Amino acid sequence: MTKKCEVNQRPICKLCHKYCEKFAKSHIISRGFFTNTLISRGTNQSVWDMESFCGSGEGRKLRNALYDCSMLCQTCEHNIFAPLDQYAIRVYRDFNNAAFLDLSDMSRGLKATAKAQGIEEAKFILIQGVNRHLLRAFFASLLWRCHASSLIELKAINIGQTYEERIRNDLLSNGAFEYVDAIAFSLTSLAHECLIMPVKKRFDVDGRQANGYTIQLPHLEFRVSLDQRNNPYDFGVVNFGEYGTSKWEGAMSLRKEYDTEKLLIFQTREALHQWRCIRNEFRKYFTNNPQRNKHLIMTK
Ligand SMILES: [Zn+2]
């Protein structure tokens, strides 16, 4: 377990496998996802203290999000990972090039579904000009980092040797990442203000299956498939409804060709619970379910 930046005996970069003089300080999840979020924007919550904990009682204070100082060389960190993080932040946190729409701007089918679910007043965020290849690369890199890192919060995450190598090769050679797909949910409830480390899932939508992970970043949930099969979530099958304490809505798949280079994210409802209440509930849940080896990073 690495708790802080330490001098490693053999500083070999886990991506390029080259010897490096000094490891980079590599964020597993970029700090940018925790600042200036949908909710904190315009407030003075620019500095976040974080705490990680899980049911087994392991946990620690995190001063600067989650980072690993014995994983990557400076070149890989700055040339490969940092640009992917920056792009994903522009799209998913900042809604760059986004148009904010009402249901009246949407298709007839979508209107009917929303009406049936009683959420006619939902807001839609349409992001245009999305580079889906970069987003797939981002999700692949995120899972690879979680796998490659030896941090205590990530030790349960194992994407397997095949995908470890495949993603590694694609990251080094600007590959296509065709086995990665994701949909995003924008969630505004305080319950979704925390980071939940990737949790392995078998997605099953009307019999169409794919293996993957759910990842929750502040106010964002991603269902990322890591599979040759398509991510079974798409516009046609995303359900509207209650999810935890907030309404959740869908976004489009990166791989499907519903609407090339456009990404639609539905903005969700107002927060329903106070932060402390949520935090205590999470703590209780993890204490009562120690077998759930799921690390949670709380931001505050
Ligand atoms: Zn490297």
Contacts of 93 (CB under 8 A, 6+ apart): 32, 33, 36, 37, 38, 220
Q: Is residue 5 part of a domain?
A: no
**The residue type at 261:** E
Q: Is residue 19 part of a domain?
A: no
- pTM attached to this predicted model: 0.78
Q: Give the total number of structural domains in the chain.
A: 1
Q: Is 294 left (phi over 0), alpha (psi -120 to 50) or beta?
A: beta
Helices (H), the chain: 74-76, 82-88, 108-116, 132-148, 161-173, 275-288
Q: Is 297 in contact with 53 (CB distance < 8 Å)?
A: no
Q: Is 238 in contact with 193 (CB distance < 8 Å)?
A: no
Distance 142 CA to ligand 1 centre (A): 16
Q: Is residue 182 part of a domain?
A: yes
Distance 296 CA to ligand 1 centre (A): 28
Question: Which residue segment(s) compose the domain that 161 sits in?
Answer: 26-299
Tell me, what's the pLDDT at 231?
Answer: 80
Distance 73 CA to ligand 1 centre (A): 4
Distance 19 CA to ligand 1 centre (A): 8
Distance 74 CA to ligand 1 centre (A): 7
Distance 31 CA to ligand 1 centre (A): 21
Q: Is residue 8 part of a domain?
A: no
Q: What is the dihedral of CA 173, 176, 180, 184, to 10 degrees?
A: 110
Among 165, 124, 125, 167, smallest CA distance to 142 is for: 167
Distance 149 CA to ligand 1 centre (A): 14
Q: Is residue 247 part of a domain?
A: yes
Among 151, 45, 44, 27, smallest CA distance to 89 is for: 27
Distance 119 CA to ligand 1 centre (A): 48
Distance 271 CA to ligand 1 centre (A): 42
Q: Residue 9 CB: number of other CB atoms within 10 A?
A: 7
pLDDT (tens digit per residue) in 226-282? 999 888 775 433 333 333 333 334 444 454 443 444 444 444 333 333 344 455 555
> pLDDT 10s digit of each residue in the chain, 300 long?
343 445 546 789 999 999 998 999 998 988 888 777 655 655 555 445 566 665 555 567 776 678 899 999 999 999 999 999 999 998 888 877 766 666 676 666 667 766 765 656 655 666 667 787 888 899 999 999 999 998 878 888 899 999 999 999 999 999 999 899 887 777 665 566 677 788 889 988 778 899 999 888 877 888 899 999 888 775 433 333 333 333 334 444 454 443 444 444 444 333 333 344 455 555 665 566 554 445 555 554
Q: Is residue 168 part of a domain?
A: yes
Euclidean distance between CA atoms 286 and 291, whole angstroms: 9
Going by the DSSP 8-state scheme, the letter that residue 230 receives in this structure is P
Q: Is residue 241 part of a domain?
A: yes
